[in-house]
Amino acid sequence: MIELELVGVRVELPANQPIVLLREREGTRYLPIWIGAVEATAIAFALQGVDTPRPLTHDLFVDVLQEMGAGLAAVHVTELRDGTFYAELHLTQGDDTFTVSARPSDAIALASRFEDVPILGAEDVLEDAGLEIDDTEDGELEADPEEEVREFRAFLDDVTPEDFKEQ
């Protein structure tokens, strides 16, 4: 597993489809994952420190975990199958550990509400869906991330399960 950093939420144009953008901590690959508007809002609120008058669903889940004495140890983006990303929540409660299947958008929305919860991606997911974008010396991206995302979207539109079979 490769540690990823949550860059933020973007909107892919012209479809106005939200994506969450992850980046390798020790590399140049980015991982865009298309998500729903509700999850995009939840992640953006957490990153911006927005405090809502009533808890959002992900805030409620965090409250439940804390009341149960449980914690979120890590989020793993485990698989890309038929154009759909899969993830797992790695939870702890005392000496017990639990793994729960989750949508990556929900898992990332939860991780964004905790400090120091690592988001990890499987190497094969990054090989299949990662975008190589080199940073320049001044920290600016050499490639246009939106163009890279459009190209990745076109790839996902045309990819078939047979493309991933071993030769």
Concatenate the DSSP letters of all residues of 81-97 into one string: ETTEEEEEEEEEETTEE
The pLDDT of residue 134 is: 64
Specify the DSSP element, H or E, that contains 78.
strand 70-81
Closest CA to 29 of 104, 101, 135: 135
Structure tokens at 64: 């439940």
Residues 6+ apart with CB under 8 A from 137: none
The pLDDT of residue 15 is: 76
- Cα separation, 85 vs 79, in Å, equals 6
The pLDDT of residue 160 is: 58
45 in a domain, yes or no? yes
The pLDDT of residue 16 is: 79
- Residue ranges of the alpha helices (H) in the chain? 37-48, 57-67, 104-111, 123-129, 145-158
- Maximum Cα interatomic distance, the chain, rounded to a whole number of Å: 54
The pLDDT of residue 167 is: 42
The pLDDT of residue 132 is: 85
The enclosing domain of 69 has a CATH number of 3.10.690.10
- Cα separation, 41 vs 74, in Å, equals 21
32 in a domain, yes or no? yes
- Domain hosting residue 73, numbered range: 2-157
136 in a domain, yes or no? yes
163 in a domain, yes or no? no
Give this prediction's pTM: 0.77
166 in a domain, yes or no? no
167 in a domain, yes or no? no
133 in a domain, yes or no? yes
Per-residue pLDDT tens listing for the chain (167 residues)? 999 999 999 887 777 789 999 999 998 899 999 999 889 999 999 998 888 889 889 999 999 999 999 999 999 999 999 999 999 999 999 999 999 999 999 999 999 999 899 999 999 999 999 988 765 545 455 555 556 555 555 655 665 555 544 44
The pLDDT of residue 13 is: 75
The pLDDT of residue 12 is: 78
- The domain tally of the chain equals 1
- Cα separation, 153 vs 12, in Å, equals 9
